[in-house]
Amino acid sequence: MGFHGLKEKPYVVGTCNDLVLCCQTRHDQDQLDFYICNPCTRQWIALPPTTRRCTNVPVGFICDRYYEENSTSGTNSTVNIKKDYRCKVVRILPHDLSEDNYFTHFSKFIVEVFSFETGEWRESIVSSPRSIRFEPATSVAYNGMLYWTYWQYESVGQIGLIGLDPFVIGNSSASPNGDETVDDDHYQFRLFDAVYCGFGFDMPWICMRRGRLQMWGYNYRDADLTVWELTCDDDLGSADEFYLKNVSVFPVTTCEVSESNVVVLALDPNDEDIFYVEVYDGSFLNYFMYNICTRKWSKVAITKHVEDDHLFRLVLPWWPTPLRKLPVVEELPI
């Protein structure tokens, strides 16, 4: 993505549909300058810089679809274009910026939200019903909300999902299995009950697979890949009764790859039997595709160095999303 005229290549920090959110610096550095681009159309816009300096900040990126396709009778269909589609960029910072954001658990956060509608960053103080530590990993947009993973402070070895709706402020509705904060002037977190993952688990990740939200983690001690899914208990008769359900445990065993050097990178978004791993052999980084059913490895790439091994999902729609012009924000006289 060298078309945007930057002196150095940016770091991808999020994707939504066919749009990509980039930053000039990595997550372990202060991230102040963000860009949104469409790699297909080579359009890009620069967001106004943020002012809060903090490293390892969880970032989220969510947008409406540019168009909606409605099928009619026969082979005909209608397409509704949304020229003024909504788009939000979210940063979650600790309320006490003097604390280490990576190792410390918090129950109060500063939520920064950039909106296409206003063209500026706005802040909100949001409390969590539990003391948690965010993972600065990839967030996922699902059903109008942004999701991240968290570690629970009160119970060692427990991880969970936390969601935030950046389009709604002051919604006081609550659900039995998703604890919500209630404040008419602020955004709300929704925490889902944590699940026990035991010791030896690598950083948990989340992804979209065939329209379902899943969380997964790799246990390097037992060489097991565990997958949880955000699902609804139909017996409860309520669409709000969502919880994390363990859907599968896959043993990663093979004589071709040393299990201690395996880093699981991603689950295949279209094939539930396939996931991708990174293996360091002492000289090179090798990338494999692993089939759970056949227990076969297929090498897909090899390289000497990767500065950031986060993987992001990019959707290629029939009509690419054009970037909206940001409104002009008038500066107040000093």
pLDDT of 154 > 50? The answer is yes
Residue predicted with more confidence, 118 or 199: 118
CA 314 – CA 60 distance, rounded (Å) = 15
Domain presence at residue 263: yes
pLDDT of 114 > 90? The answer is yes
Domain presence at residue 7: no
pLDDT at 176: 38
CA 94 – CA 112 distance, rounded (Å) = 11
Contact criterion met (CB below 8 Å) for 125 and 110: yes
Q: In the predicted model, what is the mean pLDDT of residues 54-59?
A: 87
Domain presence at residue 155: no
pLDDT of 53 > 80? The answer is yes
Q: In the predicted model, what is the mean pLDDT of residues 97-126?
A: 83
Domain presence at residue 326: no
pLDDT of 173 > 50? The answer is no
pLDDT at 101: 57
205-259 pLDDT per residue, tens: 888 888 889 988 888 777 788 888 888 754 433 334 566 777 777 776 555 565 5
Domain that holds residue 246: 201-306
Domain presence at residue 252: yes
Binned at pLDDT 50, 70 and 90, residue 100 comes out as low
pLDDT of 185 > 70? The answer is no
Q: Provide the domain count of the chain.
A: 1
Q: Of all residues in the chain, what percent carry a pLDDT higher than 70? A: 78
pLDDT at 259: 57
pLDDT averaged over every residue in the chain? 79
Q: In the predicted model, what is the mean pLDDT of residues 90-117?
A: 81
Domain presence at residue 131: no
Binned at pLDDT 50, 70 and 90, residue 72 comes out as low
pLDDT at 146: 95
Residue predicted with more confidence, 30 or 109: 109
Q: Angle CA(294)–CA(297)–CA(301) in degrees, nearest 5?
A: 150
Q: Pick from 86-90, 137-141, 326-330 the range whose average pLDDT is largest.
A: 86-90
Q: Which residues face 69 on adjacent strands?
A: 79
DSSP assignments along 101-135, one per residue: TTT--EEEEEEEEEETTTSSEEEEEEEEEEEEEE-
CA 112 – CA 158 distance, rounded (Å) = 27
Q: In the predicted model, what is the mean pLDDT of residues 143-164?
A: 83
307-318 pLDDT per residue, tens: 776 788 888 888
Q: In the predicted model, what is the mean pLDDT of residues 57-86?
A: 81
pLDDT at 89: 96
CA 264 – CA 278 distance, rounded (Å) = 6
Domain presence at residue 154: no
247-281 pLDDT per residue, tens: 777 776 555 565 557 788 889 988 988 999 888 87
3-state secondary structure 287-311: EEEEECCCCEEEEEEEECCCCCCCC
pLDDT of 132 > 50? The answer is yes
Domain presence at residue 82: no
pLDDT at 160: 85
Sign of the dihedral through C-alpha 190, 193, 199, 203: negative
pTM: 0.84
